[in-house]
């Protein structure tokens, strides 16, 4: 069933060459629009998602595909996902605002679900050709080099990380973050979840909190971080999965002990 997975990284690179890079720093006024809610979308987002879907279905006949732009047009698709099917979850361009402004910090993100569980993930940077990938139980890799963050910094005082707020975040969580964020050493987000997951998986940062939990933003990064030796869970301490987009937040850290300490400092009354 998974015999063609080695071809996925090549597929993502080929699609980026065809639909993303020709548009990078080359968008016309009519190539940029806004979805309901004000999120930016470009012609490269829609073309990339459509081509990745077509290529994946050809490579894995019978699989179902959920993409960010597809769900934006048909919001009910997430609720109709059939866990019995092999399912691909696509974010064609994560960091669209960066892309639309000509900034090179953007990623193509892809996750594979089997029976509702994430079994593989890819985060690809078209500009620098950096490929993060992981398969369940097989480890995480950056450009073929295995990642291991288990021996990284685990002292909270030495740790740095990111806190990603969102306009629709839970007001109780917002209040806790405003009150307690000074208790942590934070750096600015890259405004691209995939790039921030890369920082986590390569131990450049030791923690991250996200409050917008759409599956295309987190399924690929969560499995890569986990397979690199990291620990993550929703703020209610349940595991993150594709249906957790209504949860209050997702916290990731280098290990469970650090996770617990950050959770205590951030979320306590």
* 91 labelled binding-site residue: yes
* 68 labelled binding-site residue: yes
**Which residue has 């006949």 as its token pair?**
61
* 236 labelled binding-site residue: no
The C-alpha atoms of residue 27 and residue 102 are separated, in whole angstroms, by 9
Q: What angle do CA 85, 87, 90 make, to 5 degrees?
A: 165
The C-alpha atoms of residue 30 and residue 77 are separated, in whole angstroms, by 28
The neighbour count for residue 211, using CB atoms within 10 Å, is 21
Structure tokens at 140: 């995480």
For residue 97, give the 3-state DSSP assignment.
helix
**Which residue has 């650090």 as its token pair?**
258
Q: Which residues contact 190 (CB under 8 A, 6 or more apart)?
A: 95, 98, 105, 196, 199
For residue 99, give the 3-state DSSP assignment.
helix
The DSSP secondary-structure symbol of 186 reads B
* 45 labelled binding-site residue: no
Q: How far apart are the first and last CA of the chain?
A: 48
Contact between 68 and 194 (Cβ < 8 Å) = no
In 3D, which of 160, 164, 162, 114 has the Cα closest to residue 135? 114
Contact between 139 and 227 (Cβ < 8 Å) = yes
Phi, psi of 184 (to 5 degrees): -120, 160
* 133 labelled binding-site residue: no
Binding-site residues for Mg(2+) sit at 68, 91, 93-94, 217
Binding-site residues sit at 68, 91, 93-94, 217
């Amino acid at each position: 069933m998974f015999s063609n997975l080695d071809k996925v990284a090549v597929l993502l690179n080929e699609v980026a060459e065809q639909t993303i890079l020709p548009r990078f720093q080359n968008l016309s006024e009519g190539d940029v629009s806004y979805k309901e809610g004000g999120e930016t979308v470009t012609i490269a987002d829609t073309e990339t998602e459509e081509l990745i879907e077509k290529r994946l279905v050809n490579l894995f006949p019978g699989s179902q595909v959920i993409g960010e732009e597809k769900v934006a047009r048909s919001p009910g698709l997430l609720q109709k996902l059939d866990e019995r099917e092999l399912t691909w979850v696509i974010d064609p361009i994560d960091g669209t605002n960066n892309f639309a402004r000509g900034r090179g910090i953007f990623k193509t993100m892809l996750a594979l679900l089997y029976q509702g569980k994430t079994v593989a993930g890819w985060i690809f940077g078209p500009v620098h050709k950096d490929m993060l990938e992981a398969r369940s139980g097989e480890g995480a890799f950056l450009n073929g080099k295995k990642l291991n963050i288990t021996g990284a910094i685990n002292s909270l005082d030495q740790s740095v990380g990111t806190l990603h707020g969102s306009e629709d975040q839970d007001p109780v969580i917002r209040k806790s973050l405003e009150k307690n964020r000074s208790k942590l050493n934070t750096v600015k987000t890259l405004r691209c979840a995939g790039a921030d997951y890369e920082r986590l998986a390569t131990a450049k940062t030791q923690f991250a909190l996200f409050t917008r939990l759409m599956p295309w933003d987190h399924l690929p990064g969560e499995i890569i971080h986990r397979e690199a030796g990291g620990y993550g869970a929703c703020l209610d301490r349940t595991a993150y999965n594709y249906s957790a987009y209504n949860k209050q937040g997702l916290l990731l850290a280098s290990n469970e002990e650090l996770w617990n300490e950050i959770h205590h400092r951030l979320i306590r009354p």
